[in-house]
Amino acid sequence: MKDALFSPLTITGISHHIASVADMEAVRFLDEEAFLSRAGEWFKGVVLLQTCNRIEVIVHGSADLLVSFMESEGRSGWQVWEDTAALSHLLDLAAGLDSMVIGEDQILGQLRKALSISEERSVADPLITLCINKAIHAGSEARSMSGINRGAVSIGSAAVLLAEEQLGSLNGRHILVLGTGEMGVLVTQALAAKDLSAIYVANRTFDRAQILAEKVEGTAVPMTDLYRYLTLSDVVICCTAAPHPVIRADELNEALKVRSWPLDRKNHPLIIVDIAQPRDVEDSVRTIPGVCLYTIDDLRKVNDDTSRFRKEAAEKVRMYLDQELVQFIRLFNRKAADEVLGTLHSWAEQIRTRERDKALSRLSGYDDRYHEVIDDLTRVITRKLLTDVTLSIRACAERGEMQLAEELVGAITRGEMICSRKFD
């Protein structure tokens, strides 16, 4: 089969397409490293991608095995992409076509980070590494050739647009950004272009809050003063990596009892946009009078409004990715053939060293120079003898002809018959 893969690749996931923030929050893997260690016992390679609007597991292994593993982890009913469909999905993902915010760039960094974590845990085999890096490269090229990310908003800047939509304008407003990670930086960058009265930046590590605040001429806020600054703000955008809620309903309700502006003494609405995953704000906060709580689910409309003009660019990206998929399949299969070729070369190396040692034993009166010559000679002969068959096996792999490639190795190493009809 032309589009068959030489080795199985499977992706399973849940995203904003089929799940709400609460649904994804309930099935997140809180300890990513522990999950990767468990998955590494099942699969040759594995990557876990967790963002604010998707959770995906990418493995070098079969769909049946991945589904069984996920069920053992208490996750079931997720979407599954197998083999070429998995490669195609990976390209769409890296190009930003599958993102809530079409064309956004953040997914590229998230893929790099996910691969890096797998490499650190020694669960990223060469095939998984190839897939992620190829997808990242294709995603970068897709943006360069189409301009799909021009004018695109990140989740962070979409949160700012949502707040602006609710208030009419952010001019003269006080904004509190909770969190200084990648998302916090995107939020503050979007806010820097607004004519604000004040930007407050709060973070568990005060030094990091100071660094980010200085970049936007804002004010760093210690977490011990969080609720005080909440009462001084018009908008709060939450994007920490905390595993539990940072803003609790009871404490916020108590703090807002004294919330008023010095000159008019009137209560003012408080807009909270929670784009953290897991969420930073207890859901019951939305029941507090005067508080409007929004989550990632509410950003869908912002994306719809800002992505219409990028449809033409998306069509260009789709055509480009269709072409890239053909090359991706060939590249994947070529790499996947290394395992079969490893069997062949190991067999040949055993024969080479055995015969070399026999020859050296007959030259027992000669110096080390003769030993080096014999060793080099046997290496060169073995390599040259395997060159043509290695090329043939790689060619079979690139065409997805797994059976023929395996039969070639079997015929050489075990004297088996070649049964496949096609051989060219």
pLDDT digits (tens, 9 = 90+) for 5-19: 888 999 999 998 888
Average pLDDT (385-405) is 79
Structure tokens at 209: 């809050």
Is 260 flagged in the annotation as binding?
Answer: no
Q: Which long-range contacts (CB under 8 A, 24 or more apart) does 360-365 make?
A: none
Is 106 flagged in the annotation as binding?
Answer: yes
- On whether the pTM is more than 0.75, the answer is no
Q: How far is CA 178 from CA 52, 239, 340, in A?
A: 15, 6, 52
Average pLDDT (260-265) is 52
Average per-residue pLDDT for the chain? 86
CA atoms within 13 A on the CB side of 142: 34
Measured CA angle at 108 (ends 185, 19), to 5 deg: 85
Q: Model confidence over 99-145: pLDDT tens digits?
A: 887 888 889 999 999 999 999 999 999 999 999 999 999 999 999 99
Is 99 flagged in the annotation as binding?
Answer: yes
Comparing 325 with 409, the larger pLDDT belongs to 325
Give burial (CB, 10 Å; 0-12/13-18/19+) of 259. Answer: middle
What pLDDT is attached to residue 1?
45
Is 182 flagged in the annotation as binding?
Answer: yes
Whether the pLDDT of residue 364 is over 70: the answer is no
Is 52 flagged in the annotation as binding?
Answer: yes
**Residues acting as catalytic residues:** 52
> Strand, helix or coil at 72?
helix
What pLDDT is attached to residue 422?
52
Domain boundaries, the chain: 10-152+309-333, 155-307, 337-414
Tokens 């995953």 found at: 277
What pLDDT is attached to residue 342?
80
What pLDDT is attached to residue 28?
92
What's the CA gap between 300 and 302, in Å, rounded?
A: 5
CATH code for residues 155-307: 3.40.50.720
Whether the pLDDT of residue 367 is over 50: the answer is yes
pLDDT category of residue 423 using cuts at 50, 70 and 90: very low
Is 179 flagged in the annotation as binding?
Answer: yes
What pLDDT is attached to residue 392?
81
Structure tokens at 13: 């996931």
What pLDDT is attached to residue 55?
96
Domain 10-152+309-333 classification at class level: alpha beta
